[in-house]
Amino acid sequence: MLATFAPSVLTMTEEFEQFVGEAGAKATLETIVVEGAMDALRKGDAARHNELIAARAPELAHCDAIMLAHFSTSRALEAVSAAVGTPVLTAPDAAVDRIRAAIEG
């Protein structure tokens, strides 16, 4: 998981572990907090934000998938996908999938 807001990582990790436990899966989670990306975005530099995130993505290329942890990081999807051959997931897509599953039962 590539994150840009460190305080959220603990709760996201707990949620992941709960989901894995409920599913009876053997999945693990590695997280990288991309320093400086959120500051760049707050300063209006979305390109720098995306570059910083994409630069760290190869560190997770050995994983089955890479999750862009926040809605704000989803804007880096193209840059991250270009940096690695690993499937890249985004928070908005995951949220829509979860809502769809809840509605459909």
DSSP characters for 41-104?
HHTT-HHHHHHHHHHHGGGGTTSS-EEE-STGGGGGHHHHHHH-SS-EEEHHHHHHHHHHHHHH
pLDDT digits (tens, 9 = 90+) for 18-27: 999 999 999 9
pLDDT digits (tens, 9 = 90+) for 6-64: 999 999 999 999 999 999 999 999 999 999 999 999 999 999 999 999 999 999 999 99
CA distances 60 to 2, 11, 32, 98, Å, are 9, 20, 8, 24
Whether 91 shows a pLDDT value over 90: the answer reads: no
**C-alpha of 59 from chain center:** 13
pLDDT computed for residue 56 by the predictor: 98
pLDDT grade, residue 96 (50/70/90)? Answer: confident
Q: What whole-number distance in Å separates Cα of residue 46 and Cα of residue 43?
A: 8
pTM over 0.75? The answer is: yes
